[in-house]
Amino acid sequence: MLIQILILLISLVTLVWSADKFVFGASSLARNFGISPMIIGLTIVAMGSSAPEMMVAATSSLDGKPNFAIGNAIGSNITNIALVLGITALFQPLSVSSSTVRREIPLILIITALAYWMLSDSYFGFNEGLSLFIGFFVYIIALLLITLRASKSRPVDDPLIIEAEKEVADAVSKPESILWLAVGMILLPMSAIYLVESSVFIAQAFGISDLVIGLTVVAIGTSLPELAASIMSIIKKEDDLALGSIIGSNIFNILAVLSLAGLIAPGEVDSDAATRDAPYMLGVTVLLFILCFTRRAGSFRITRMKGLLLIGAFVAYQILLFSQI
């Protein structure tokens, strides 16, 4: 058991580290080919935070454990809003003025409601997974078109876009970029395989379902990059990026992570995911929407009190989960 726990921790660290190197290599290579830092920041860097979840979802679904993948996607979204944003706001209140963030908050609510509806009948089919995956590409293309069109008419003044552009790594040589890209591409799937295998072994040893281990240990572990990125963002006074990265990650988790379970291993879903976890994910997303609502047209704040409320929602969810084991 101790060996499996050690494998779990090592594979989780490797998964997160290799995802970072994959993003670094891909963004640096894109810079070498003359692609705009703004485009790189909105695509490669933004998607990088969900790379661990995507790899875990693909690996577990191929291994015939779609509930593990579904649990990871749902658990990561709950963790991002309730724990990551909560801790970030406690560390320092966020003041957000980005029009992109204000536009994406209703969008994530709609997408989350759609995911809940798809899972509510305890069945997640291929067509449902395909529709979400298509939605992922539609979202990326629409985001790029809106941003590029706005930048042609006037200088980019959206704080989120400006801050995301700053996060793009400086280009290194093409050989070095390819090396880090290859390292990420090799270690990402390897670490995901060991992570899934060790997690399932531990879950079975303690009589815990694949769904719950995906909702808790793996979800929290794969959300650590978002927590680190959010805290670093507010240290650099990039509040818009801190909230924007969390919202963007949750959008990717539903459209690009959850969809893989339906595409690779469509079928019956654990009834708890349909009746307990998906509704809770929708609930914390509604809570985020309410907390971000403001009569001020320019900006809104996530205060420490709101952060404490979000953390309370996370703790309540963990109590709910383990009280039913």
Residue 50 corresponds to which tokens in the numbers above?
């969900």
**271-301 pLDDT, tens digit each:** 999 999 999 999 999 999 988 875 555 567 8
CATH superfamily name and code, 2-323: NCX, central ion-binding region (1.20.1420.30)
Backbone Cα Rg of the chain: 19
Which parts of 27-174 are beta strand (E)?
94-96, 123-124
What token pair was written down for 148?
């590029």
Nearest-angstrom CA–CA distance, 51 and 24: 12
- pLDDT by residue (tens digit) across 13-51? 887 788 777 777 777 777 676 665 556 655 666 666 677
Position 117 confidence tier, pLDDT thresholds 50, 70, 90: very high
Confidence of residue 120 (pLDDT cuts 50, 70, 90): very high
Task: Give the per-residue pLDDT at 167.
Answer: 53
Average pLDDT, stretch 80-84? 93
Q: Which helix (H) or strand (E) holds 301?
A: strand 300-302
CB within 8 Å of 126: residues ≥ 6 apart: 262, 263, 266
pTM of the full structure: 0.84
DSSP, collapsed to helix, strand or coil, labels residue 78 as helix
Confidence of residue 3 (pLDDT cuts 50, 70, 90): confident
Report the range of poorest mean pLDDT among 63-77, 210-224, 271-285: 210-224
- Of the ranges 1-15, 62-76, 110-124, 132-146, which is most confident? 110-124
Q: Is the pLDDT of residue 91 over 70?
A: yes
Q: Which helix (H) or strand (E) holds 267?
A: strand 267-268
> What are the residue boundaries of the structural domains of the chain, listed by start?
2-323
Q: Is the pLDDT of residue 264 over 70?
A: yes
Predicted local distance difference test score (pLDDT) of residue 4 = 82
Residue 163 has pLDDT above 60, yes or no: no
